[in-house]
């Protein structure tokens, strides 16, 4: 996001900007199947 002078924004605009910034930080999570989890657990036990 380019530099912004937040001093000129209204309170609602600041809240919206903050919400958008927080949303961008969210990570996508990997979803493992039960079989994949079992295989990973087995590998971890071996190391």
Give the pLDDT confidence of 1-29 residue by residue, as tens digits: 556 666 677 888 888 877 776 665 667 78
Q: Which residue has the higher pLDDT, 5 or 37?
A: 37
Q: What is the DSSP string of 1-45?
A: -----GGGS-HHHHHHHHHHHHHHHPPPPP---HHHHHHHHHHHH
Q: Which residue has the higher pLDDT, 32 or 19?
A: 32
What is the pTM (predicted TM-score) of this model? 0.40
Task: Please count the structural domains in the chain.
Answer: 1
How far apart, in Å, are the Cα atoms of 24 and each of 4, 8, 10, 39, 42?
Answer: 17, 23, 21, 32, 35
> Is 40 a domain residue?
yes
Boundaries of domain holding 18: 11-46
> Is 3 a domain residue?
no
pLDDT exceeds 70 at position 40: yes
């Amino acid at each position: 996001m380019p530099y912004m002078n937040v001093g000129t924004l209204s309170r609602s605009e600041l809240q919206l900007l903050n919400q958008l910034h927080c949303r961008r930080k969210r990570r996508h999570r990997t979803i493992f199947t039960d079989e994949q989890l079992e295989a990973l657990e087995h590998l971890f036990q071996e190391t």
